[in-house]
Amino acid sequence: MGFKEEIARRRTFGIVSHPDAGKTTLTEKLLLFGGAIQEAGAVKSNKIKKGATSDFMEIERQRGISVATSVLAFEYNGIKINILDTPGHKDFAEDTFRTLTAVDSVIVVIDVAKGVEEQTEKLVEVCRMRHIPIIVFINKLDREGKDAFDLLDEIEQKLGLTVIPLSFPIGMGYDFKGIYNLWENNLNLFTGDSRKDIEETIEITDLSDPSLNELVGESSADQLREEIELVQEVYPAFDKTAYLEGELQPVFFGSALNNFGVRELLDCFVTIAPPPRPKQSEERLVKPDERKFTGFVFKIHANMDPNHRDRLAFVKIVSGEFKRNTPYLHVRHNKKLKFSSPNAFFAEKKQIVDVSFPGDIVGLHDTGNFKIGDTLTEGEIINYKGIPSFSPEHFRYINNADPMKAKQLYKGIDQLMDEGVAQLFTLDMNGRKVIGTVGALQYEVIQYRLEHEYGAKCTYENLNVHKACWIEASEENSEEFAEFKRVKQRYLARDKQGHLVFLADSAFSLQMTEQKYPSIKFHLSSEYD
């Protein structure tokens, strides 16, 4: 198979949702259809978890949440599918935001009973900002939930999407009879038997066909006819170009736990979802079919095997072929590196690959060379944009609890921050170090890992900060900028890249500062150019 054919058959996407909407269950069922696992549940036990040691992994198992993005790949009908299953828990949202830089499209999972939840809103906002094509999967139809039309309205209003149902439920909860698939014009009857890999489909091109009454009962058949007529009147016709440009979002209904509606989603997905897309770098737009390899690190996983203290850098291949044992330029360090055992992830197994193509995710063993956002090329100086840092929600001073281990502490903090566990700010005034995290759970993880991996102990002190704002100031108003720096000196810090950050202590203080210094822009994300 030629290089261009390999690119055309790849689909790299992320699955995002609020916790408990059924994201990991859907991932398992997709792998089941792809034949990558023999029975659902096999992924969970072997899922790559972020955590210093099995203790932390144990906590995560008890809590039943995913804390790190897993990379899973499988083949389906000749298409190579790469899934990035992201954490839904808000304490690990930053990992999800970064993962969205490595996907070409997204499936958003929504719980039929709970509807659109807070975490989903934030994640979809990032997808819309980047014009990532979205398919919505409304899950758990075998349970009582909201009316289908009410849900579609809620998705449009809360998420700002323009939806088009490509399947529609017949009843819900106790009355759930099945799904009418508008994409393929057929009917799927719900048996409630989750052991059946693939439910039978009955082709019905004309809903006025009397056999529909026999299959689902007269009242359900009449209701379905009315609802489908309404769908066709109210919603736009499916337009693939509008979907690919992020302007139209197809919606599917189903029950991942019961394997129901998943095949329809997958069949439509492989047909309409985009192959690897071009990516903007600071220097130029890079297209996937360019012959020369480029790729970027979007995630670093430490201690996947606690016995070997290894780190894996996850690289998304943007263009060209990535070959084993070939030297590539690490742009930030300006040095050549080669990799003897690049890993690909097939369901729950890692295996060494000789060649990978655009759209693929490769795990590279890392001894500390990489940080998130690094670029690898065949020699060209390229820096990929778009791996943002968002303003953390929690801020604490970090103090050294063992003066004899200062060196180990700073090395540990440095490496953990490169991994993207949290963000480090150094105060301009006195050089004190502040750690900002999205969730409070990460402070425990950092403390535990510093002690067990680096032999350093730390303590924390609370710090009253409302938001970290990255500063953008134009040269013309340098007097105003100088005054701002003088007046707000005790609230100014530098991030790990040396960018100036204003640590506002309250929403009111931030608002007043913005009004007082109109020429200065305050950004809640480091990616503002």
| Tens of pLDDT, residues 16-36 | 887 777 777 888 888 777 765
The domain defined by 3-175+236-272 folds into: Rossmann fold (3.40.50)
Report the pLDDT averaged over residues 299-308. Answer: 61
Whether 188 has a pLDDT exceeding 60, the answer reads: yes
Alpha-helical runs (H) found in 9-147 = 23-33, 42-46, 54-63, 93-99, 118-129
Q: Which of 3-7, 89-93, 321-325 shows the lowest per-residue confidence on average (mean pLDDT)?
A: 89-93
Whether 68 has a pLDDT exceeding 60, the answer reads: no
Report the pLDDT averaged over residues 465-474. Answer: 89
Whether 319 has a pLDDT exceeding 90, the answer reads: yes
Whether 10 has a pLDDT exceeding 50, the answer reads: yes
Q: Which of 41-50, 151-160, 351-360, 436-445 shows the lowest per-residue confidence on average (mean pLDDT)?
A: 41-50
Q: Where are the domains of the chain?
A: 3-175+236-272, 279-377, 394-523
Q: What is the 3-state secondary structure (H, E, C) of 3-47?
A: HHHHHHCEEEEEEECCCCCCHHHHHHHHHHHCCCCCCCCHHHHHC
Q: Which of 244-253, 288-297, 365-374, 424-433 shows the lowest per-residue confidence on average (mean pLDDT)?
A: 365-374
Report the pLDDT value the prediction gives residue 202, as an integer from 0 to 100: 75
Q: How far is CA 357 from CA 164, 275, 353, in A?
A: 32, 11, 11
Class (C level, CATH) for 279-377: alpha beta
Strand partners, 138: 110, 253
Which tens digits make up the pLDDT trace of 403-443?
899 999 998 898 888 777 789 999 999 999 999 987 788 88
> 3-class DSSP state for residue 390?
strand
Residue 359 confidence class, pLDDT cut points 50, 70, 90: very high
Long-range contacts of the stretch 336-345 (C-beta < 8 A, 24+)? 337/369, 337/376, 339/364, 339/365, 341/365, 343/312, 344/73, 345/48, 345/70, 345/71, 345/72, 345/73
Is the Cα dihedral 256, 260, 261, 266 positive or negative? positive
Q: How far is CA 487 from CA 149, 427, 475, in A?
A: 54, 15, 18
Report the pLDDT averaged over residues 174-182. Answer: 82
Task: Please enumerate in sequence order all residues whose Cβ is within 8 A of that of 95, keeping only pairs 6 or more positions apart, or say none.
Answer: 50, 67, 68, 69, 86, 87, 299, 420
Report the pLDDT averaged over residues 312-333. Answer: 91
CATH 1.10.8.60 for the 394-523 domain, yes or no: no
> In which order are the strands placed within the sheet that holds 458-462?
458-462, 394-400, 433-437, 423-427, 492-494, 500-504, 467-473, 520-523
* Domains 3-175+236-272 and 279-377 belong to one CATH topology: yes
Tell me how far apart the alpha carbons of residues 69 and 53 are, in angstroms, rounded to a whole number. 17
In this predicted model, which residue has the larger pLDDT, 461 or 263?
461
Report the pLDDT value the prediction gives residue 421, as an integer from 0 to 100: 76
In this predicted model, which residue has the larger pLDDT, 77 or 40?
77
Which tens digits make up the pLDDT trace of 33-54?
776 555 545 444 344 433 333 3
- How does 94-112 read in b/e, with b if 16+ C-beta sit within 10 Å? bbbbbbbbbbbbbbbbbbb
Q: Which of 256-260, 324-328, 504-508 shows the lowest per-residue confidence on average (mean pLDDT)?
A: 256-260
> 3-class DSSP state for residue 110?
strand
pTM: 0.78
Element (H, E) at 409: helix 406-418
Tell me how far apart the alpha carbons of residues 384 and 282 are, in angstroms, rounded to a whole number. 6
Mean pLDDT (the chain) is: 82
Token pair, residue 195, equals 């052991």
Strand segments (E) across 48-120: 70-76, 79-85, 105-111
To the nearest whole percent, how much of the chain has pLDDT over 90? 33
In this predicted model, which residue has the larger pLDDT, 301 or 342?
342
Report the pLDDT value the prediction gives residue 73, as an integer from 0 to 100: 83
Report the pLDDT averaged over residues 125-151. Answer: 87
Report the pLDDT value the prediction gives residue 527, as an integer from 0 to 100: 66
Report the pLDDT value the prediction gives residue 396, as an integer from 0 to 100: 95
Report the pLDDT value the prediction gives residue 199, as an integer from 0 to 100: 53
Report the pLDDT value the prediction gives residue 387, as an integer from 0 to 100: 66
